[in-house]
Each structure stands twice: as structure tokens, then as C-alpha cells.
Homo-oligomer: A and B are copies of this chain.
Amino acid sequence: MFTRIKRLLIGRPLKNDEAFYQRLPKWKALAIFSSDALSSVSYGPEQIAVVLALSGFITYGYYLYSLIPIIVLLAIVTISYAQVARANPGGGGSYSVARENLGEKPALVAGAALFTDYILTVAVSITTGTAALISAFPFIGEYKLFLDLAVLFCVLTIINLRGVSESAKFFVLPTYLFVGGILALIVMGVFQVLTGTDPVFAEASMQKQPMDMMIFFLILRAFANGCSSMTGLEAIANGVPMFKKPEYKNAIHTTYYMSGLLAIMLLGISFLMLHYHIMPEYNVTMISQIAERIVGRGYFYYFFQLVTMLILFLAANTAYNGLPPLLSIIAKDGYLPRYLGQRGERLSFSNGILLLSLATALLLIIFDGDVEHLISLYAIGVFLSFTIAQSGMVVHWLHNKSKCWQWRVFVNALGAFITGIIVLIIIVTKFFYGAWIILIFIPVVVYCFKKIKTHYTGMGRELALKPGEKFSYISSPIMKNYVILPISYPTRSVIEAMRYARKIGDEVIAVHIATDDKNADYVKKVWHVQDPEISIVTIQSPYRMVIQPLLDFVKKVAASKRPEDYITVLIPEIQTTKWWHKLLHNQTGLILRTLLIFKENVIVVTIPFRVKG
């Protein structure tokens, strides 16, 4: 039943050799890798405006002071990341770059930052995607969190468990529709501006409070918020091997196209925002307001909202393409549980996918689907991993002094330096708005990575045979296996357990835990009638406990046996077909196994006896 539903949702299992590598032409790669970056147009400008418009001062006029540095930053990081793509034809994100060039600690920090970042990508993209839908249909606003979770589990998780090959197909059309929609909006908007009578910039949009330290800090905060527009920029550099040949050249070109498009869209949307003096509204995104002003609530408007929603969900999907392979690499390095490194039946990293979905769901539930809060957390991880990747590249160029290495060092160092500064700016300006959570979370994740690694290496050392060591089962076999079997009145389950005990044991010790003497004598008599040779050890339990006296007895036997002997404790257990029957029987076997698990050379075995009743 469960298997059937699974087959229906996830599909048939795939063999190893069905692994799928499709080389991508530039136009497809652009769509697949840039949905995250391009979609941030739909929340980036809004994030700037939210800080400036809702602060209580008239500071909307400082909008461009926040936007222009972002565009400059975008140019620098783009050039810098083109170098990353060039140097890593094998792909691999900042974790791999750092691991290769900077060592363990920076790599783990990058890994933790990316982990945080990918979870936030999914969360932010889903919530802004449903926000686009809610702008069009406000009455579904109250089901927001429910919608978010439905998209997360019913769409993203299932598609990705089905595997990569299938999920890539969905990307191309919505991305281009979105880009086309935004560009069309900008063209129509600019046309209206030029043919209309209104001033090019609304007067209200230009109002500035005189600059002081507080205002400056506010602009910095708006800038920090706006940096969320740059998330997803690294995707192409991480995916170089998926490009058609020559891979790195195509990847670099695609990076330039993507950043160019992003810059045009950011500038265009910002221009229209200032022209119409759009203000943040509850349950209506700014980009929806712009669309409404330009084309009204007609077919194009609804189409545009739908496409916006789609591309945001696709942006969430990039995290599903990015995080599970990353977790797999980290797991193979021993910093995460090994099962995160294994591909599932459908060749996707199913455990990583489920981990990502669950972590995102937790985050959404904790923050009740509140976008603004989530975005403020978002940019730190992104820029931290930017910084680490580019620092790694600086080291890389210093070691591999290829053509123009000085220029490359300069570009990457500049990129690292500036993105590093951005991390500091975001931390300072957003500290009390949630950034502190990231500052706790990333070190905690790094600590976990290290603990896990320590555990695995320690365990590996204890498990491995010494060179030349002989298998102990050949040189020193177990001499004697004592089987301890608790009995009471003879029932079929105990008789069956005794049958097994006599097969596997060299000496069977039947134990009766007695709460009163008369009963104990009677039990002995009943057994002796049929099996005169049996010797039953009676243990008095005046406090009516069963497990403790048995435990003490096992320990006593264990203390008196030779080291090369074993003790096997058999616990007869009733097994029935209905789950609730479990509640009707005590779980002696389970408890005893837990209590004896650290006792050397003691094995606890439950002998299931199947009844129908």
C-alpha cells in the first residue's frame, strides 16, 4: 500500500547507469541556473523601499543611494565570479573552493553558510511566490502558511524526489516568460512615462530628510536589505560541468548575460517604483502594484502574477538542486551522517531533499511565513559564502600563476574584500532584526560538522583491523554460550523460546522471577513433570519488579564466566498483527536490550511468538 503510493508519486527505481548528464546550451543554462538570481527582482527593490518608507522619516528619496551601490557591487561580484567559473571547470561551490584552497575551517563555515542560505532560499522564494498569488487574489491571504507548506511538500519535495532529470525540464519556459514579462512591463511603463504628463519622478519619491548618522544608518540598512537581489549569482559557477563545450567560456558568457539582465530589470523596476511613488502595502507586493498601475487588473496582470509565482517556486527549486549534492559532498568528507551521501532509488539524494524540506517547514512555521524577517536572515549566508569562495580563489591564483594572474588576484581580492564588508554591514545594521540568529546558527552547524567528523574518525579507528591482524573468529572462537531464559508457567511462547535456547546454547539457564514462594514451587513442579532434567533458578522479587532482578542475575553470570564465553538472554515476546496490541503487552525485551547494550559479550534476543488474537 505504502509502496504503491510511493511508486505513484516518486516513480520506479532507477539503476546506477541511468544517471543522467545532459549538456546544456547557453540559453537553456541561463534559464536553469538564473531563476534564483533573476527572481530576486520581485522582492529586492521592495526590500529597500520597506526600510525607507516605513521608518517614520521621509527618507524615500534616498532610494537611489541604496540601489546604485548594489548595481556596482553586482558588477564587481559578477566579474569576480567569472574567475571562479574559469578556475573550477569541475564545478563545486564555495565549500569545495575553500576546502581546496583555504583548509578545513573556512570550508566548514562556507558549508554552514550555504546550508543556512539554501534553506532560506527555499523559504523566501516560496513565501514571496505565494505573496504574488495573494496580491492577485487577496482572499487567500489567510491561508498563506498552509499554501507555503503545500507548495513545499506537495510540489517541490515530490518533484525533487523524482529526480533531477525530470525537474530541469520545467525551468526554461517560466524563466523566459518572467524575464519577458518584466521587460514588457518596463517598456510599457517607460512609454507611459514619456507620453504622460506626470513628472518623471514623483515629487514624493524625491523627498529627503536632511542626512545625519541615523539616516545614514537607515540607508545602510536599506542597502543591506537590497543585497538580497544578488542571491543566486553563484549558481552558474557551481554548475560549470553541465555546460556545452567549451564549458568555462560558455559559463562566463552566461554569467554576464544573467547579471546584465538582472541589472536592467532592477533599474527598470526601481525607476517605475519611484515614478509611481509605490509604497509597501499589506498583502500586495510592490511589483504587483506597479503592474496594476501600468496595465490594470486585466489578463496581463494575472498572467504576470502567475509567472512571478512560478519563477519564485523554481528559484526555490534551485536550492533542491544545490543543497543535496553539497550535503552529499560534505557527508563523504565525513562531516555529516553518511546516509546524506547516498543516492536514493531515483538517483536523487532523497535524504538531503527531505532534510531540506523539513528544515524549511520548521523555519516557515516558526516565522509564520513572514517574508521580511526571513530575507533579513538571508543575505548574510549568501555574502559570507561569496567572501569565502573569492578568498579561496585568491589563494588559488597565488598557487597557480597562470596568464594574467595578478589581474585575477586583484579582481577576486576586491570581490572578497567588498563582499566581506557587506557581511559586516548586514550584521551591524540587521543584528537586532534577526542577523544574530545566523551568527549563532552558523557556528553551531560548524561545531556539529566537527563533532560528527570526530565521531566517524574515532569510530573508524576502533573498527578497523590493525595491518596484518588476524580475524579473531578463527584464532579465538567463543568457548561457551550461556543462554538465560526467563520462564513462568509453560506457554507455547516460552516452550518455543526454550527450543531455540537448547539449539544455540551450550548451557541453558531457566530463570523464574517469583513474587511469592508458593507460586515458585508450583512453577518448578509443572516444568519438572515434563522435563525432569531442567534446572530452574528461582529469583525472589519482593518488590514485584521483573527487569531489575533479571538484570542483576545476568550481571552475576557475566561476572563469573570466562572472558571467551558469551551470554545470550532470550526474551519470549508475543507478536500480534494489530498495532494496538503492543500497548497490551510489556516491552521487557526492548527495555532489557537497552539496559544491557553496553555489557561486553552479552546479547539480548527477543523470540517473537506470533498469535492471531
Contact = CB atoms under 8 A, between A and B. Distances in A.
A561 to B, nearest CB: 14
A201 interface: no
A459 B608 contact: no
- Number of this chain's copies in the assembly equals 2
A551 B494 CA distance: 27
Interface in A316-351: 337-339, 342-345
A213 interface: no
A464 B611 CA distance: 11
Interface stretch (A139-147, A155-163, A295-303, A471-479): A471-479
Contacts of A478: 499-500, 502-503
A611 B566 contact: no
Contacts of A605: 603, 605
A465 B491 contact: yes
Nearest to A504: B504
Given A531-B471, A575-B598, A603-B605, A459 B613 contact: yes
A180 interface: no
Interface in A492-507: 492-493, 495-496, 498-500, 502-504
Contacts of A472: 495-496, 499
A138 interface: no
A481 interface: yes
Contact of A600 (B15, B457, B603, B610): B610
A545 B13 CA distance: 10
A458 B338 contact: no
Contacts of A611: 458-459, 462-463
B499 A457 contact: no
B597 A575 contact: yes
Given A465-B491, A495-B465, A577-B598, A339 B612 contact: no
B499 A345 contact: no
Given A477-B503, A575-B597, A608-B597, A462 B492 contact: yes
A165 interface: no
Nearest to A527: B471
A495 B473 contact: yes
B576 A459 contact: yes
A555 interface: no
A508 B74 CA distance: 65
A455 interface: yes
A476 B455 CA distance: 48
A183 interface: no
Q: Which of A471, A574, A597 has the most CB of B within 10 A?
A: A471
Interface stretch (A32-40, A128-136, A580-588): A580-588
16 contacts: A337-B583, A338-B584, A342-B544, A452-B584, A458-B613, A459-B613, A462-B613, A463-B492, A465-B490, A472-B495, A474-B531, A481-B503, A503-B566, A593-B606, A603-B605, A603-B607
Interface of A: 13-16, 337-339, 342-345, 452, 454-459, 461-465, 470-474, 476-478, 481, 490-493, 495-496, 498-500, 502-504, 515-516, 530-531, 542-545, 566, 568, 574-578, 581, 583-586, 593, 597-598, 600, 603, 605-613
